[in-house]
Structure 1
Amino acid sequence: MRAVLARNCRLISRFLLVRFSRCRLVFDDALADFKQRVLLFPARIRQALGRDHQFVFANGNVPTEPDAGAAAISDEYFGYVGNTIMEYKDLYHDLLDIIDDQGPFDGLMGFSEGGAVAAWMLIENSKYPLTFGHLKCAIFFSAAVPFDPDVVRTGIVKLVDPAMEGEMIKVPTAHIWSKENDINARAAMTLTNLCDARLRETFLHSLGHSVPGSKSDSEALAGTLRIIERTIERAKDQVA
């Protein structure tokens, strides 16, 4: 399993004072078989939004088994969510190191388990502001339910429940998932309900547990890009 961090290049732009013309996005790719698609999808986003983004890869550090169909891609697979408290703490500090070494980032983008990790960072920011910098937006693809970042302090692993916690994520968000799988759809909806209803966008497709981006799903790609653009514009409005 591989993560992808996307960061804006330091280019001269008319929106320099607003900073969102220099938008930095973090892509968390949680599935190994997504590696083939992720090489194309960010390029399509860059093409649609302008050549203002640089993509940086960051790996998970927890050894895991590959998903079906992924065995031909790599001999080793890594994820984010571990089985011990120490692995959760390692993830926390690894993310802090990424922010310190390669940030600051303006936004997050996550797929599947990576989406849960991106949400986890935003929830931590809501409890302890600026822990992961001034994050201004997030884009989630088929995201899993995030776990409570308090695990690093309490040693108790639990998923975040919007029925108990309410809308914890207060930045503009976009949520893209497939209506073809009930389990994944419920997880994506749970994360959606953790985000401010006034600031969130949703788009449903029928492509399964994947990110729209191939030539054969131009309608899904167009819908995806549409809500990404709206989310970034909303974040720009908040910064202005």
Structure 2
Amino acid sequence: MLGSQAPRKPRILCLHGFRTSGEILKKMIGKWPETVLQNFDFAFPDAPFPARGKSDIESLYDPPYYEWFQVNEVECLNFEECIAYIEDYMIKHGPFDGLLGFSQGGMLAAVIPWMQGEGVAFTKVPKIKFQIIISGFKLRELKSGPPKLLVNSFSTPMECPSLHLIGEKDFLKETGYILLKSFVNPFVIHHSMGHTIPKLDEKGLETMLKFIEIIQKMFQQDLQIASGPRAAL
């Protein structure tokens, strides 16, 4: 039809790991087959803070490297600044339908919809509809307590559809399983690798495509609802 546009794909905001970058995450996600990647539009921002120390991936990927926030045994630093930075990016470059996060970015991708649901952050952007969490974790207990935005985090189970990738050799494996308990009916892909974004084997790809099918149905329903009044004109 003349003047018609191709339907919009679900857009995913991708949050990279500690002391890596958006470009590095883009390369890592590029391992996945086109049958997965063709279903989404991805955005890969860099975190707000330049790396303040050595990166674990220096032998694999070139700098620059960035980090979202900093944590020590006592406190979490710059967390509120990080959240404000992400929300501002979503306002300027959105709308975004889903989140994908790896490691430190996975921790953020897991908790953002909770903060949004509680009304403590991300109130100026559309509701996040799904999450893909790779090597995700809950922020450990700190002597000063959690950041203000995370007080009582996951106090109610998350019903936002989620897919979790957990590696058998990942040093964050156990915390990844703890995180799973905070989600209602999560999809899970188990892989044999460590702290990385794995290629998808046959079983992993099957799980991923089932998750994508659910997301697409939900996305199309939302589009139909949004376009309903216009269609009646």
Change (3 A) 1:36 1:89: closer
Structure 2 CA distance for aligned equivalents of residues 230 and 147 of structure 1: 34
Deviation at 1:26, TM superposition (A): 1.4
The answer to whether structure 1 residue 144 and structure 2 residue 134 are counterparts is no
Change (3 A) 1:105 1:59: same
Deviation at 1:186, TM superposition (A): 1.4
Corresponding residue for residue 22 of structure 1: 9
Which secondary structure does the structure 2 equivalent of 1:44 belong to?
A: coil
Corresponding residue for residue 208 of structure 1: 194
Structure 2 CA distance for aligned equivalents of residues 36 and 92 of structure 1: 21
The answer to whether structure 1 residue 225 and structure 2 residue 212 are counterparts is no
Deviation at 1:225, TM superposition (A): 2.9
Larger proportion of helix: 1
TM-score, length of structure 2 as denominator length? 0.72
Letter in 2 for 1:140: I
Letter in 1 for 2:68: Y
Deviation at 1:98, TM superposition (A): 0.8
Q: How big is each residue's C-alpha offset from its partner over 1:171-220, in whole Å with a ceiling of 9 and x where there is no partner?
A: 11111111223x411121122111123xx21111101111122xxx6436
Corresponding residue for residue 135 of structure 1: 128
Letter in 2 for 1:202: V
C-alpha root-mean-square deviation of aligned residues, in Å? 3.4
Identity of aligned residues (%): 16
The answer to whether structure 1 residue 68 and structure 2 residue 64 are counterparts is no
Change (3 A) 1:86 1:178: closer
Structure 2 CA distance for aligned equivalents of residues 12 and 42 of structure 1: 26
Which secondary structure does the structure 1 equivalent of 2:70 belong to?
A: coil
Deviation at 1:230, TM superposition (A): 4.3
Number of aligned positions between the proteins:
209
Letter in 2 for 1:201: F
Corresponding residue for residue 194 of structure 1: 182
TM-score, length of structure 1 as denominator length? 0.71
5 Å-filtered alignment, 1:1-240, equals 12-13=5-6, 16=7, 22-31=9-18, 32=20, 36=24, 38-39=26-27, 41-42=29-30, 44=32, 47-49=34-36, 51=38, 53-62=40-49, 63-71=51-59, 73-83=61-71, 87-128=78-119, 131=123, 132-146=125-139, 151-152=147-148, 160=153, 165-167=155-157, 169-181=158-170, 183-197=171-185, 200-213=186-199, 218-219=201-202, 222-223=205-206, 225-233=208-216, 235-236=218-219, 239=222
Which secondary structure does the structure 2 equivalent of 1:143 belong to?
A: coil
Change (3 A) 1:91 1:147: farther
**1:175 touches 1:203 (CA, 8 Å); kept in 2?**
yes
Letter in 1 for 2:27: L
**1:85 touches 1:152 (CA, 8 Å); kept in 2?**
no
**2:107 touches 2:137 (CA, 8 Å); kept in 1?**
yes
**2:107 touches 2:139 (CA, 8 Å); kept in 1?**
yes
Structure 2 CA distance for aligned equivalents of residues 220 and 159 of structure 1: 35
Letter in 2 for 1:80: W
Structure 2 CA distance for aligned equivalents of residues 233 and 124 of structure 1: 24
Structure 1 CA distance for aligned equivalents of residues 190 and 28 of structure 2: 20
Letter in 2 for 1:142: S
Which secondary structure does the structure 1 equivalent of 2:44 belong to?
A: strand
Structure 2 CA distance for aligned equivalents of residues 53 and 230 of structure 1: 12
Structure 2 CA distance for aligned equivalents of residues 60 and 40 of structure 1: 17
